[in-house]
Homo-oligomer: A and B are copies of this chain.
Amino acid sequence: MQSLLDDVIARNRQWTQKGKVADYIPALSTANSDALGICVTDVNGQEWAAGDARTFFSIQSIVKAVTLLCALEDAPIRSIAKVISFEVCSDSFDSIANLETSRSHKPLNPLINSGAIAIIPFISGKAYEEKFLRVVKLIRQMTRNQSIEVNDKVYKSETLTGNRNRALAYYMKSTGTLSGDVEEVLDIYFRLCSIEVTCHDIARIGAVLAGDGLMPGTGEAVANPNSCRIVKAMMSTCGMYNESGAFATSTGIPAKSGVGGGIMAAIPGKMGIGVVGPALNSKGNSVAGIRVLSDLSSKLKLSIY
């Protein structure tokens, strides 16, 4: 495995030159576009890493998989489904047009921005601060990393420039989709997106999802199997923005990407994978990251199809 990972990283490093680091949030534009790293954590707790696996990056949309997991653990899916669909989305991740044109005005799924904002009220916790801590604590538990923190610079940058997300939130407020105080919900959303992680962290989150909620190695249950399966189903159909179909075709594994350049994969029953490569394609996905996962999927026969 180790030599395979080394090899895959070496072979695909050239692809880091083909993308562009996200710049719509100033604080993200400072990421190292040449970085490429990987970590694999299997469901038994074994771990391998290669390349820039210790590089910190912004979790961004990858956190949506954990936010969804928390909501599914804390509220009945029937309640959630009343305001958020669990459907595929052919528009870009920050689309507002589909909120207006769909009959129900519901976000299409919990892994696009609108749905990820609307799901926050379903997380346990009276005050919004508690909801935030609920998610952070689960991330620290799944990653066995108590030093997981929000990057304040990114958080401030998100807050200052997050007008598209504000538009989504106010629109959903106007249609009754979003309950609670808009600015408070957005504040939680911005803070969660600004959490800083490494490939190790997201590989471990992926491994918990892969193991249907059991911690790799110890077997301690931190989430229900059914919640984990729903998260993986959503990752498979909607996890790579509007490139999800092409990724399913080429790679065939449940994965969630973020504009920080990370991709978290969860291979059911097998392993979690964390990849980072901040240079993105036009859909917002890591160019080299997709290549690495596609190679690995083909070598290790990871496709679920």
Q: Is the interface of A mostly helix, strand, loop or mixed?
A: helix
The reply to whether B90 and A87 contact each other, CB–CB distance below 8 Å, is yes
Instruction: Indicate which residue in B88, B173, B229, B252 contacts A90 across the interface (CB closer than 8 Å).
Output: B88
B contact residues around A173 at 8 Å (CB)? 163, 166
The reply to whether A96 and B305 contact each other, CB–CB distance below 8 Å, is no
Distance between A6 CB and nearest chain B CB, rounded to angstroms? 26
The reply to whether A167 and B170 contact each other, CB–CB distance below 8 Å, is yes
Q: A268 interface residue, CB < 8 Å from B?
A: yes
B contact residues around A89 at 8 Å (CB)? 88, 90
Residue in B closest to A248 when the chains form the complex, CB atoms: B233
Instruction: Indicate which residue in B97, B233, B303 contacts A249 across the interface (CB closer than 8 Å).
Output: B233
Interface residues of A (CB under 8 A from B): 85-91, 95-101, 108-109, 163-164, 166-171, 173-174, 182, 229-230, 232-234, 236-238, 242-246, 248-249, 252, 254, 268, 303-305
The reply to whether A246 and B86 contact each other, CB–CB distance below 8 Å, is yes
A305-B232 contact, Cβ under 8 Å, with A101-B97, A182-B163: yes
* Complex Cα gap A48–B95 (Å): 46
B contact residues around A229 at 8 Å (CB)? 252, 303, 305
The reply to whether B87 and A244 contact each other, CB–CB distance below 8 Å, is yes
The reply to whether A91 and B88 contact each other, CB–CB distance below 8 Å, is no
The reply to whether A96 and B100 contact each other, CB–CB distance below 8 Å, is yes
* Complex Cα gap A244–B175 (Å): 25
B contact residues around A98 at 8 Å (CB)? 90
A248-B252 contact, Cβ under 8 Å, with A170-B166, A174-B164: no
B contact residues around A245 at 8 Å (CB)? 85-88, 108-109, 233-234, 237-238
